[in-house]
Amino acid sequence: MKRYNLCLLGYGNVGRALVALLVKKSEAMRELYGIEWRITGVATRRMGWLASPEGFEAEALLSGEAASKALSPPPSNVSEWLRAARADVLFENTSLEPHTGEPAVSHVRAALESGAHAITANKGTVVHAYRELNELAREKGRRFMFESTVADCLPVFSLFREDFPAAELLSFSGLLNSTTGIILEEIERGGTFDEGVRRAQAMGVAETNPSYDVDGWDSTVKACAIANVLMNAQLKLEEVQRVGIRNLDAREVLEARAAGRPYKLVARAERTRDGRIKAVVRPEQLPLTDPLVGLDGSSLAVHFELDVLPGLTVIAHNPDVQSTAYGLLADFINAVR
Amino acid sequence: MKRYNLCLLGYGNVGRALVALLVKKSEAMRELYGIEWRITGVATRRMGWLASPEGFEAEALLSGEAASKALSPPPSNVSEWLRAARADVLFENTSLEPHTGEPAVSHVRAALESGAHAITANKGTVVHAYRELNELAREKGRRFMFESTVADCLPVFSLFREDFPAAELLSFSGLLNSTTGIILEEIERGGTFDEGVRRAQAMGVAETNPSYDVDGWDSTVKACAIANVLMNAQLKLEEVQRVGIRNLDAREVLEARAAGRPYKLVARAERTRDGRIKAVVRPEQLPLTDPLVGLDGSSLAVHFELDVLPGLTVIAHNPDVQSTAYGLLADFINAVR
Nearest by CB: A330 against B164, B318, B322: B164
CB contact under 8 A, B294 and A290: yes
Residue B189, amino acid:
R
* Chain B nearest-CA residue for A159: B163
Q: How many residues are recorded in chain A?
A: 337
- How far is CA B16 from each of CA A267, A304, B267, B275, rounded to the nearest angstrom? 37, 26, 30, 43
Are B45 and B71 in a shared domain?
Answer: yes
Residue A118: count of CB within 10 angstroms of its CB: 31
DSSP bridge pairs for B99? none
Q: How confident is the model at residue B208 (pLDDT cuts 50, 70, 90)?
A: confident
DSSP-assigned letter for residue B230: H
Are A121 and A205 in a shared domain?
Answer: no
Q: How many CA atoms lie within 13 A of A313 on its CB side?
A: 26
Q: Specify the pLDDT at position A321.
A: 93
Considering only CB atoms, which chain A residues are within 8 Å of B299? 311
Q: How confident is the model at residue B214 (pLDDT cuts 50, 70, 90)?
A: very high
Q: How many CA atoms lie within 13 A of B223 on its CB side?
A: 32
State mean pLDDT over B175-179: 97
Considering only CB atoms, which chain B residues are within 8 Å of A158? 162-163
CB contact under 8 A, A315 and B319: no
pLDDT in tens, B107-165: 999 999 999 999 999 999 999 999 999 999 999 999 999 999 999 999 999 999 999 99
- How far is CA A255 from each of CA A58, A248, A249, A261, B139, rounded to the nearest angstrom? 51, 11, 10, 9, 63
Q: Specify the pLDDT at position A107.
A: 97
CB contact under 8 A, B315 and A291: yes
Q: What average pLDDT is seen over chain A?
A: 95
Q: Specify the pLDDT at position A131.
A: 96
Is the peptide bond between A74 and the residue preceding it cis, with omega within 30 degrees of 0? no
CB contact under 8 A, B291 and A289: no
State mean pLDDT over A163-173: 97
Q: Specify the pLDDT at position A216.
A: 96
Mutation target among B168, B307, B308, B321 for the A interface, most CBs of A within 10 A: B308
Whether A124 shows a pLDDT value over 80: the answer reads yes
Whether B255 shows a pLDDT value over 70: the answer reads yes
Q: How confident is the model at residue A46 (pLDDT cuts 50, 70, 90)?
A: confident
> What is the rounded distance in angstroms from the CA atom of residue A92 to the CA atom of residue A110?
11
Phi, psi of A99 (to 5 degrees): -90, -20
Are B230 and B114 in a shared domain?
Answer: no
Query: What is the percent of chain B with per-residue pLDDT over 70, rounded to a whole number?
Result: 99
pLDDT in tens, A301-332: 999 999 999 999 999 999 999 999 999 999 99
Size of interface A-B (CB pairs under 8 A): 148
State mean pLDDT over B31-44: 96
Are B314 and B168 in a shared domain?
Answer: yes
State mean pLDDT over B185-208: 93
Are A208 and A66 in a shared domain?
Answer: no
Q: Does A312 touch chain B (CB under 8 A)?
A: yes
When divided into structural domains, chain B yields a total of 2
pLDDT in tens, A249-288: 999 999 999 999 999 999 999 999 999 999 999 999 999 8
* Chain A nearest-CA residue for B296: A289
DSSP-assigned letter for residue A160: I
Question: Three-class SS of residue A310?
Answer: coil
Are A314 and A166 in a shared domain?
Answer: yes
Q: Specify the pLDDT at position B68.
A: 67
Whether A65 shows a pLDDT value over 80: the answer reads no
Are B243 and B331 in a shared domain?
Answer: no
> What is the rounded distance in angstroms from the CA atom of residue A264 to the CA atom of residue A245?
9
Short-list B167, B122, B176, CA closest to B144: B122
User: CATH number, domain at A40?
Assistant: 3.40.50.720
Are B204 and B303 in a shared domain?
Answer: yes
DSSP bridge pairs for A92? A9, A120
Cα separation of the two ends of chain B:
10
CB contact under 8 A, A313 and B312: no
> What is the rounded distance in angstroms from the CA atom of residue B62 to the CA atom of residue B42?
11
Considering only CB atoms, which chain B residues are within 8 Å of A310? 317-320, 323
Cβ pair A150, A143 in contact under 8 A: no
Are B256 and B208 in a shared domain?
Answer: yes
Residue ranges in A48-100 assigned as alpha helix (H): 58-63, 78-84
How many helices (H) and strands (E) would you count in chain B?
A: 14, 12
DSSP-assigned letter for residue B160: I
Cβ pair B219, B281 in contact under 8 A: yes
> What is the rounded distance in angstroms from the CA atom of residue A97 to the CA atom of residue A109?
16
Cβ pair B70, B104 in contact under 8 A: no
State mean pLDDT over B11-34: 96
Report which of residues B204 and B70 the model is more confident about: B204
Supply the range of the domain harboring residue B65: 2-153+322-336
State mean pLDDT over A200-229: 93
pLDDT in tens, A9-22: 999 999 999 999 99
Q: Specify the pLDDT at position A67.
A: 64
Q: Specify the pLDDT at position A74.
A: 86
DSSP bridge pairs for A280? A241, A268
Whether B226 shows a pLDDT value over 80: the answer reads yes
Cβ pair B94, B10 in contact under 8 A: yes
State mean pLDDT over B164-174: 97
Phi, psi of A97 (to 5 degrees): -115, 105
Nearest by CB: A315 against B166, B312, B333: B312
User: CATH number, domain at B301?
Assistant: 3.30.360.10
| Segment among A130-139, A145-154, B40-49 with least mean pLDDT | B40-49
Are B24 and B118 in a shared domain?
Answer: yes
> What is the rounded distance in angstroms from the CA atom of residue B242 to the CA atom of residue B225?
15
- How far is CA A210 from each of CA A154, A197, A298, rounded to the nearest angstrom? 23, 7, 15
DSSP bridge pairs for A169? A306
For A274, the enclosing helix (H) or strand (E) is none
The verdict on pTM exceeding 0.90 is yes
Q: Does B36 touch chain A (CB under 8 A)?
A: no
Whether A178 shows a pLDDT value over 90: the answer reads yes
State mean pLDDT over B37-58: 92
Is the peptide bond between B103 and the residue preceding it cis, with omega within 30 degrees of 0? yes
Q: How confident is the model at residue A68 (pLDDT cuts 50, 70, 90)?
A: low
Are A33 and A172 in a shared domain?
Answer: no
Q: Specify the pLDDT at position B334.
A: 97
Short-list A174, A120, A152, CA closest to A316: A152
Q: How confident is the model at residue B43 (pLDDT cuts 50, 70, 90)?
A: very high
> What is the rounded distance in angstroms from the CA atom of residue A71 to the CA atom of residue A98?
30
Q: Specify the pLDDT at position A89.
A: 98
Q: Is A47 exposed, middle or buried (0-12, 13-18, 19+ CB in 10 A)?
A: middle
Are B169 and B294 in a shared domain?
Answer: yes
Q: What average pLDDT is seen over chain B?
A: 95
Q: Specify the pLDDT at position B67.
A: 63
CB contact under 8 A, A166 and B323: no
Query: What is the percent of chain A with per-residue pLDDT over 90, rounded to a whole number?
Result: 87
Q: Specify the pLDDT at position A207.
A: 76
Short-list A44, A142, A116, A121, CA closest to A329: A121
For B89-134, the DSSP string reads EEEE-PPP-TTT-TTHHHHHHHHHHTT-EEEE--HHHHHHHHHHHH
